[in-house]
Amino acid sequence: MKKIFIFIVLFFLFNLNVNALTIPSNNAILIDQDSGRVLYSKNANNASLIASTTKIMTAVLAIESGKLDEIVVINDSVSKSHGSGIYVSIDERITLRNLVYGLLLRSGNDAALAIEDFLGGHNKFVKKMNEKAKEIGMNNTVFNNASGLDDEEKGNYSTCYDMALLMKYANNLFDFREIDSTKKIIVETDMKTYSWTNKNKLLFTYKYATGGKTGYTKKAKRTLVTSATKKDVNLIAVTFNDPDDFDTHKKLYEYGFSNYKNYLIINKDKIKIKSDKYKGKLYVKNNYYYLMTNNERENINTNVVMYNKKDKKTKQVGYIEVFYKNQSIHKEYIYMK
């Protein structure tokens, strides 16, 4: 392959200074939703009980089952539920979608049990949870139940980093974003009418909040996973064992929004790529942005690699690879008209 180095002009509008950040959480992380870049970390790879933030994974599996609009008939599996609930009744008919609303908005442990029963039963569902965790890259996570309860059986353990990866994955699912961002909803079944208000206070107190999941048990203490968006910056925050977690998440987001912005690295409309081998017009399909501080611009480098021959299937003739501190962070493929 022939390699050609190119220069991409970047325009920077602001000088940003990253200030020191201190928070009370035992474990915490702030990441960029789009790139996965870690912007702040405190003991983020230490495993801990995660309580009801578990339900993000339960919701993911319910959504990906493709059965959201099927009717679930509640059976006596919910009789084992305790703690927070939506208080469904045996023989009540409710859609899986509405169970997910109850799961995420009200942290219904009975909803979690009904979901796992509908999707194959406890053992099969927990196996799917752990398989999905590995698929996402949650390498320090173990799930033992769909609810996050840890008093009568083994609880669920994860890290702030792994839970941030889970939220990043979940936020790429339209149904998850739609349900998780809902502040209030009225749900009707064949037996009852429910009025549910989201327990995620950030949705009501922080204008940039877009979703999240709360959690609490006596063993785990307070756990919280949230997301927020300001302009084109999308962030995820996770904290464990923080009595003021909602305020801490606001603080993390303000830190991120104040110090980082998305810089245009590849401009598909202005970039020009020359090749001796390919005489046609070469182009890329997408712009590429990377979240950085102003002072980090100099750490970005790009490299163009041209193939010896065009890929007949994909029509690709090469790619632009983007490096941050000499680490590859993105490939944008080059095509010929």
The CA angle 95-101-102, to the nearest 5 degrees, is 95
Structure tokens at 33: 């939703």
Across the chain, which distance is largest between two alpha carbons, in Å?
Answer: 72
Active site residue 107: yes
Active site residue 55: yes
Strands in 173-270 per DSSP E: 184-188, 193-197, 209-217, 221-230, 233-240, 261-266
Structure tokens at 296: 């980090």
Residue pair 225/167 in contact by the 8 Å Cβ criterion: yes
Distance CA 129, CA 86 (A): 22
Alpha carbons within 13 angstroms on the beta-carbon side of residue 19 total 10
Q: Please identify which of the residues 52, 84, 158, 227 carries the catalytic annotation.
A: 52
50: CB partners within 8 A, 6+ apart: 148, 155, 156, 157, 158, 163, 215, 220, 223, 240
Q: Please identify which of the residues 48, 84, 107, 227 carries the catalytic annotation.
A: 107
Residue 11: exposure state from Cβ atoms within 10 A (0-12, 13-18, ≥19): exposed
196: CB partners within 8 A, 6+ apart: 86, 101, 102, 105, 106, 184, 185, 186, 187
- What is the three-class DSSP state of 251? helix
279: CB partners within 8 A, 6+ apart: none
- Region for residue 152 given its phi and psi (left: phi exceeds 0; alpha: psi -120 to 50; beta: otherwise): alpha
Distance CA 83, CA 268 (A): 53
Q: Please identify which of the residues 55, 213, 250, 251 carries the catalytic annotation.
A: 55
Known catalytic residues? 52, 55, 107
